[in-house]
Amino acid sequence: MKILIVDDETNIRELMHRYLHLDGIDSDCAENGLSAQRMLKDELYDACLIDLKMPGMDGNSLIEWIRSEGFRMPIIMVSAHGEISDAVSALKQGAQDYIVKPFDPEELVIRLKKLVEAQNLRNLVENETRNTTVDDKQIFVGESPSIRKIKDLVARIAETNSTVLITGESGTGKEVVARDIHNSSLVKGGPFVAINIGGVPENLLESELFGYEKGAFTGAANRKTGMFELASGGTLFLDEIGDMPLSLQVKILRVLQDKRITRLGGTDPMPINARIIAATNKDVEQMVREGKFREDLFYRLNVVRISIPPLRERREDIPLLAAGILRRFNRQMGHRVEGFTSEALSMLTSHDFFGNVRELENILERAVIFSDTPEIQVEDLDLRGSVSMRTHDKEKEETKIDLSDGKSLKDVEIDTIIRALHRWEGNRTRAAQELGISRRTLINKIAENNLNL
């Protein structure tokens, strides 16, 4: 970090230079605005400390020149008592902060570091936003220790054909990791076929996976190729494997063991050579203990385990993720939003994001639509509609139903479903997550009880 100190008082310049040096910060000194102009043209600085009152070119005029020349480094205005109104006008000219003489050296250093870190972060985000050489949907973004570990693991298993189980909360990017594995693997030239187990009705799931022969059942007018066949020579991604019914789990186990499938209505087994990657947002080990998931299938899938942490546990990745998402929305919508203000980035990195990357995408999509400035501002980020799961957990505790009031278990179930759907404004996926059931199960219960929601 290198700072430019601009002050006409020699003792003040030397004091600030000494304070910064003691903290390991390099600095140069200029005695007036003209000297500062020459130095700024010859040297790169991370920030400026500028005195407000100087002979010749005063602090406000220097700030105006700095911004007109396109310099973007943070500026702290240094003012004396009685000059606060002038300092406020300096903020309007482009200074980020001001400090009043006599000042606390420790406070000055803290403010300076904070501004420089914020600017460096903005520069990083804007560089990422301008980089159009990357397909954002195909790369797992992040530089936090946990994400570096995942990237290293992906690289290590790239040349194997081992089955992989990816776990993590909804919206953390499990499919993105699965695609990264595929794109780094020996079968990257083959197809990547994905199926969301929880999104397919149970009575259709087997035929989607294995396909069927013509005449296998009423309505089977033609042969259908299943997902295992479509993924031949590539990767089959079984998303939300925890929603797979027990009756089908044994058939998946047999496929993993024998590397063969038989279409519904068929008699001849066919070899398959697709790599299997499974994912779930559920605690599969607990499901095994409860008898809801076959232990032998779990061990077949869990050869290599990748656990993705929630976004709130890797906040340092939020700026890079936001930059990639912003770049994608700019491209899709034809917008040219360059980045984020420091305040907007700070608000994003402090948000809990219980919906993880998917929630971040939703917030930024709205921000890009409504932004009228080159940078996304705080007011563009509508975080009010982003409700913390902890709030809902608290609401669930507060709305527990007492069976002593004469209600049947069926009535309690219906009431619980209605309350969850109301809390999530009809969002069935979120309501199902809160209730601890699959989205398909929730839809079946809504239909079974004729709930007009």
* pLDDT score at 82: 56
Write down how long the chain is: 453
d(Cα 248, Cα 252) in Å, to the nearest integer?
Answer: 6
* pLDDT score at 407: 57
Is residue 213 within 8 A of residue 252, CB to CB? The reply is no
d(Cα 344, Cα 337) in Å, to the nearest integer?
Answer: 13
- Provide the residue-wise pLDDT of the chain in tens; the chain has 453 residues: 889 999 988 888 888 898 888 888 899 999 999 999 999 988 889 899 998 888 888 888 898 898 888 888 889 888 876 566 666 777 777 888 888 877 888 888 888 888 887 777 666 665 555 544 444 444 577 888 999 999 999 999 988 889 999 999 998 999 999 999 999 898 888 899 999 998 888 888 988 999 888 888 877 778 888 899 889 889 999 999 999 999 999 999 999 999 999 888 888 888 888 999 999 999 999 999 999 999 999 999 999 999 999 999 999 899 889 988 888 888 888 888 888 888 888 889 889 888 899 899 999 999 998 888 888 988 888 876 554 444 444 444 444 444 445 556 677 778 788 877 777 767 777 777 777 777 778 887 887 777 765
What torsion, rounded to 10 degrees, do the Cα atoms 140, 142, 144, 147 define? 0
Phi, psi of 225 (to 5 degrees): -85, 130
Is residue 80 within 8 A of residue 27, CB to CB? The reply is no
Angle at which helix 428-435 crosses helix 409-423, to 10 degrees, equals: 130
Neighbours of 15 (CB within 10 A): 16
210 vs 111, 299, 320, 343, CA distance in Å? 62, 22, 40, 52
* pLDDT score at 198: 86
With a threshold of 0.75, does the pTM exceed it? Answer: no
d(Cα 2, Cα 173) in Å, to the nearest integer?
Answer: 38
d(Cα 74, Cα 112) in Å, to the nearest integer?
Answer: 8
DSSP letter (8 states) at residue 158: T
Kindly list the structural domains of the chain, giving each domain's residue range(s) and its CATH number in brackets, ordered by start: 2-130 (3.40.50.2300), 137-307 (3.40.50.300), 311-380 (1.10.8.60), 389-448 (1.10.10.60)
E strand or H helix that includes residue 28: strand 26-30
What's the chain's Rg over C-alpha atoms?
Answer: 29
- Establish how many alpha carbons lie within 13 A of residue 85's alpha carbon, considering only the half-sphere containing its beta carbon: 1
Query: What SS3 class is residue 278?
Result: strand
Tokens of 405: 């009031």
E strand or H helix that includes residue 151: helix 145-157
d(Cα 446, Cα 417) in Å, to the nearest integer?
Answer: 8
Is residue 7 within 8 A of residue 33, CB to CB? The reply is no
Is residue 28 within 8 A of residue 40, CB to CB? The reply is no
